[in-house]
């Protein structure tokens, strides 16, 4: 299986070309979040089982066992987008293990995990490999965790040629020092000395040594994730956390995977809202007297703070490597010639000098991380916040990255690094441990709106019936009547009447509180519809029809068409839609599954948009003025960035789906049934009422 490039030679699996048997190969990608297929963790693990024809009744046990094996103990309906990077890595491994493949391919499966979780995952892989007789191939820079569990080691040089092959202990005994010199992390060999940056790369800092540059006190961050039933699950990502960062010091943020290290870093950078506590910088770094970075504009933020994200691919804003690293320097108006010389020196230090005209999106994961580091430090920020900056680096590139971090620190900047890297932690001046916060008791499950009792086909059908209702409406009075009826039906659909216990089972009581945000959500989704209605009405007026009746009719027709979608479509579960299209309408499985996976990704667009917005803001290139032109330019840049990111994610998603049997499945089963309920019939009948009113009005 290849992501890109041209292949020559022969690849055989059990004597046959790969792909002859669905699910024969389990694959965990380097960036596991790119391989998430479904909206919930349980359904995501079951995806491969569906492709390989596992009976529905056998799936729950295998899904639960796979999740337990990798230490994911949350509910099966937990949204996949609510997982941390390390948790997504474990989810990807669970999906591969559930397949019970012949060959298991793991691309740096523990890169984002803490030592305890790394040991747990390694033990699981070892146990499963032995019990099932799997052939397992692990791609790793760091050999230590795997030496005692693998039977063979193959080392490739930077040209892809084999330079060592054999028993791990024998190879390391014979060639350990030579392999370490090539960049391999050989157990027992001391960490390399960080490579110094050229003299004069950084000038004097803005604060005196050991002065508190950034202070986060008692910070609390809550995250909300929308469940498929329309309710919202709120969890505590960071609670009562303190972080004091000093100029001229390196600070390591450590803690178990999912403890909230990345969240705390975003809150400290002013890129994520916190619900309690305080974040402030030293008065000499304050912008206009404002000490909280969240209150700064994009230029002030870029001048003082820099952020290196966990996944560097999310923050690429330029089309060449050189332009990428020059972005912030240009935004700040630094002298072009001086900035250019410094940026080229940094690229050389990080081994990227020969790639300055390459497209940064085509770099490897490790190269993108080093590029993100160069882009963050090129303008010498007073505070650098780097998230897992040493992941995916060999010994030589690790030395270059650590040298850059320490060079910036020695110049007087405050450097913060979230990491599980023992070498980086050992070299830090200060270490703060972030513990996974205790979660509040699960609140009572909110009552379900009536609309959630219907399936996806009836909801989509009801939304589509609004189109002929809007078209058929002859005049504005009829359209207004249809719209009023739709509003009444929407109120009924979104209502969540209190249910009562059955007789003989205790006193009558409400089962859960009323759900929140129903009307607000519809109102927000109707903003685009209202703009469309005004635009159509205005266009009708400008194109010559000065009749207010015609203008009002045109605008109201748009609202009639849009309103049902704003109410209903949010309750369509992408996975359930695939189930119903295939099982009830008998549509072919492949396009149906592809559609469901694509719709699941649509739900993540908001997160992608936010990531790109953060990157542009901290790089100094977000819109500063509120003029229509600057706002439109920012929207265009965000939209283009999201499109490029989505296309890249689609390619990775296709590889992940095929690795779980999607491409070669000859018989597919479905983890969930697709019943047609009474509620579905009622929804369609009620949706016909506005159409009937519009037709009668003619």
pLDDT at 304 over 50: yes
Burial degree of 44 (CB within 10 A; 0-12, 13-18, 19+): buried
What mean pLDDT comes out for the span 170-189?
Answer: 89
Nearest residue to 456 (alpha-carbon basis) of 282, 268, 587: 587
Q: What is the mean pLDDT of the chain?
A: 86
Mean predicted confidence (pLDDT) in 273-282: 93
Region 210-231: mean pLDDT is 81
- Which two tokens mark 530? 């209202």
Q: For residues 90 and 121, is the Cβ–Cβ distance under 8 A?
A: yes
101-110, 461-470, 599-608, range with the lowest pLDDT: 599-608
CB 660 within 8 A of CB 654: no
pLDDT of amino acid 581: 93
Q: What is the pLDDT of residue 378?
A: 94
- Distance CA(419)–CA(429), nearest Å, equals 14
- More confident of the two residues 123 and 323: 323
Binned at pLDDT 50, 70 and 90, residue 467 comes out as very high
Residue 386 DSSP one-character state: E
Q: Of 115-129, 310-324, 403-417, give the range with the top mean pLDDT.
A: 403-417
Mean predicted confidence (pLDDT) in 185-208: 90
Among 84-93, 142-151, 385-394, 675-684, the minimum mean pLDDT is found in 84-93
pLDDT at 482 over 80: yes
Nearest Cα neighbor of 380 from 355, 414, 350, 354 is 414
CA nearest to 261, candidates 437, 47, 20: 437
pLDDT (0 to 100) of residue 448: 83
pLDDT at 544: 64
Question: Where residue 545 falls among pLDDT bands split at 50, 70, 90?
Answer: low
Tokens of 628: 């229509």
pTM higher than 0.85, yes or no? Answer: no
Q: Round the CA-based radius of gyration of the chain to a whole number and report it.
A: 28
Q: Are strands 135-139 and 103-107 parallel, antiparallel or unpaired?
A: parallel
Residue 501 has pLDDT above 70, yes or no: no
Query: How deeply is 78 buried, as exposed, middle or buried, from its count of CB atoms within 10 A (0-12, 13-18, 19+)?
Result: buried
Confidence (pLDDT) at 125: 83
- What's residue 656's pLDDT? 79
Whose CA is closest to 305, among 295, 293, 314?
Answer: 293
Tell how far CA 669 is from the center of its chain: 28
Domain 25-182, CATH = 3.40.50.300
Specify the pLDDT at position 1: 45
pLDDT above 80: residue 3: no
Run of H or E residues at 233: strand 232-246
E strand segments, 317-429: 383-387, 414-418
Residue 213's Cβ-count burial label (10 Å; 0-12, 13-18, 19+) is buried
pLDDT at residue 583, as a whole number: 92
Give the integer Cα–Cα distance in Å for 93 and 315.
Answer: 26
3-state secondary structure of 128: helix
Q: Who contacts 680 (Cβ-Cβ below 8 Å, separation ≥6)?
A: 454, 455, 457, 458
Burial 626-654 (b: 16+ CB within 10 A, else e): eeeeeeeebeebbeebbeebbeebeebbb
Residue percentage of the chain with pLDDT more than 90: 41
Backbone angles phi, psi at 176, to 5 degrees: -55, -50
**DSSP-derived 3-state class of residue 231:** coil
- Please report the pLDDT score of residue 109 as a whole number: 80
- Range among 219-228, 229-238, 429-438, 443-452 rated most confident: 429-438
Q: Which residue in this structure is represented by tokens 């085509």?
A: 362
pLDDT at 593 over 90: no
Quick one: residue 498, left, alpha or beta (phi over 0 = left, psi -120 to 50 = alpha)?
beta
Q: What pairs with residue 432 in β-bridges?
A: 253
**d(Cα 39, Cα 41) in Å, to the nearest integer?**
7
Domain coordinates in residue numbering, the chain: 25-182, 212-433, 450-496+518-603+668-697
Candidate from 20-29, 341-350, 407-416 with smallest mean pLDDT: 20-29
Q: In what order do the strands lie in the sheet with 232-246?
A: 232-246, 212-226, 276-281
pLDDT of 625 over the 70 cut: no
**Is the model more confident about 59 or about 660?**
59
Phi and psi dihedrals of 397, rounded to 5? Answer: -75, -30
Q: What is the per-residue pLDDT across 142-152, written as a single tens digit (0 to 9) for each? A: 888 888 888 99
- Terminal CA-CA length for the chain: 60
Which tokens in the block code for residue 118? 């790394």
Burial tier of 531 (Cβ tally within 10 Å: 0-12, 13-18, 19+): exposed
- What CA–CA distance (Å, rounded) separates 476 from 383? 59
Q: 40 pairs with which residues across the strands?
A: 79
Q: Which of 294-308, 516-530, 602-616 has the lowest mean pLDDT?
A: 602-616
DSSP reduced 3-state for 215: strand
Residue that wins the pLDDT comparison between 325 and 256 = 325
253 DSSP β-pair partners: 418, 432
- State mean pLDDT over 188-207: 90
Q: What is the mean pLDDT of residues 239-264?
A: 91
Matching fold, domains 25-182 and 212-433:
yes
Q: Distance (Å, rounded) from C-alpha 131 to C-alpha 97? A: 12
**Cβ pair 457, 580 in contact under 8 A:** yes
Query: What pLDDT does residue 509 have?
Result: 40
| Element containing residue 236 per DSSP (H, E) | strand 232-246
Whole-angstrom distance, CA of residue 439 vs CA of residue 443: 11
Whether 35 and 90 have beta carbons less than 8 Å apart is answered as no
Do the Cβ atoms of 34 and 311 come closer than 8 Å? no
- Look up the CATH architecture of domain 212-433: 3-Layer(aba) Sandwich (3.40)
CA distance 195 to 373: 15
Q: At what angle do helices 628-659 and 589-602 cross, to 10 degrees?
A: 140
Rounded CA separation 697/556 (Å): 15
How many angstroms separate the CA atoms of 451 and 491, rounded?
10
Q: What is the pLDDT of residues 546-592, one digit of tens each?
A: 678 888 888 999 999 999 999 998 888 888 999 999 999 999 888 88
């Amino acid at each position: 299986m290849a992501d890109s490039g041209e292949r020559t030679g022969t690849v055989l699996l059990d004597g046959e070309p790969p792909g002859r048997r669905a699910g024969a190969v389990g694959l965990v990608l380097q960036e596991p979040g790119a391989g998430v297929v479904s909206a919930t963790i349980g359904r995501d693990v079951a995806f491969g089982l569906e492709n390989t024809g596992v009976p529905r009744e056998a799936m729950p046990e295998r899904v639960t066992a796979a999740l337990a094996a990798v230490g994911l103990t949350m509910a099966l309906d937990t949204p996949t987008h609510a997982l941390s990077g390390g948790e997504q890595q474990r989810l990807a491994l669970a999906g591969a293990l559930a397949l019970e493949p012949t060959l298991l391919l793991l691309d740096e499966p523990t890169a984002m995990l803490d030592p305890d979780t790394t040991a747990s995952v390694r033990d699981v892989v070892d146990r499963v490999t032995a019990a099932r007789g799997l052939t397992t191939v692990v791609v790793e820079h760091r050999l230590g965790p795997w030496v005692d569990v693998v039977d063979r080691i193959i080392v490739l040089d930077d040209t892809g040629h084999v330079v060592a092959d054999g028993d791990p202990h024998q190879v390391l005994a014979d060639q350990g020092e030579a392999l370490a010199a090539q960049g391999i992390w050989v157990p027992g060999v001391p960490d390399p000395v960080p490579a110094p940056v050229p003299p004069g790369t950084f000038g004097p800092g803005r604060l005196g040594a050991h002065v508190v540059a950034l202070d986060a006190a008692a910070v609390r961050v809550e995250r909300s994730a929308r469940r498929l039933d329309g309710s919202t699950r709120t969890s505590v990502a960071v609670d009562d956390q303190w972080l004091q960062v000093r100029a001229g010091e390196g600070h390591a943020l450590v803690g178990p995977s999912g403890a909230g290290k990345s969240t705390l870093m975003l809150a400290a950078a002013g890129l994520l809202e916190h619900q309690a506590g305080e974040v402030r910088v030293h008065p000499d770094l304050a912008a206009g007297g404002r000490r909280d970075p969240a209150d700064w504009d994009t230029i002030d933020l870029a001048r003082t703070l820099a952020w290196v994200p966990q996944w560097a691919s999310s923050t690429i804003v330029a089309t060449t490597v050189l332009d990428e690293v020059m972005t912030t320097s240009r935004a700040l108006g630094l002298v072009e010639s001086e900035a250019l010389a410094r940026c080229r020196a940094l690229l050389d230090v990080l081994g990227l000098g020969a790639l300055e005209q390459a497209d940064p999106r085509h770099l490897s994961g490790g190269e993108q991380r080093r590029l993100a580091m160069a882009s963050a430090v090129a303008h010498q920020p007073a505070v650098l916040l780097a998230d897992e900056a040493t992941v995916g680096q060999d010994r030589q590139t690790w030395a270059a990255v650590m040298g850059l971090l320490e060079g910036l620190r020695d110049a007087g900047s405050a450097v913060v690094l979230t990491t599980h890297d023992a070498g980086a932690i050992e070299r830090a001046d200060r270490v703060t441990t972030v513990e996974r916060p205790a979660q509040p008791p699960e609140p009572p499950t909110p009552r379900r709106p009536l609309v959630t009792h219907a399936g996806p086909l009836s909801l989509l059908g009801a939304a589509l019936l609004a189109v002929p209702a809007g078209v058929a409406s002859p005049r504005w009075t009829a359209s207004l009547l249809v719209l009023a009826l739709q509003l009444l039906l929407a109120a009924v659909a979104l209502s969540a009447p209190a249910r009562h216990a059955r007789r003989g089972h205790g006193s009558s009581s409400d089962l859960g509180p009323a759900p929140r945000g129903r009307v607000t959500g519809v109102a927000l989704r109707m903003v685009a519809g209202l703009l469309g209605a005004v635009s159509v009405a205005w266009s009708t007026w400008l194109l010559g029809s000065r009749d207010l009746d015609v203008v009002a009719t045109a605008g109201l027709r748009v609202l009639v068409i849009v309103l049902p979608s704003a109410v209903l479509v949010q309750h369509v579960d992408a996975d359930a839609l695939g189930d119903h299209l295939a099982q009830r309408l008998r549509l072919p499985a492949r396009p149906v599954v592809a559609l469901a996976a694509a719709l699941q990704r649509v739900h993540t667009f908001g997160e992608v948009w936010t990531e790109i917005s953060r990157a542009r803001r901290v790089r100094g290139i977000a819109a500063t003025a509120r003029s229509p032109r600057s706002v439109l330019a920012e929207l265009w840049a965000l939209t283009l960035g999201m499109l490029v990111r989505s296309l890249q994610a689609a390619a990775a998603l296709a590889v992940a789906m095929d690795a779980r049997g999607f491409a070669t499945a000859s018989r597919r089963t479905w983890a969930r049934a697709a019943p047609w309920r009474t509620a579905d019939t009622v929804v369609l009948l009620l949706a016909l009422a506005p159409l009937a009113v519009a037709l009668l009005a003619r």
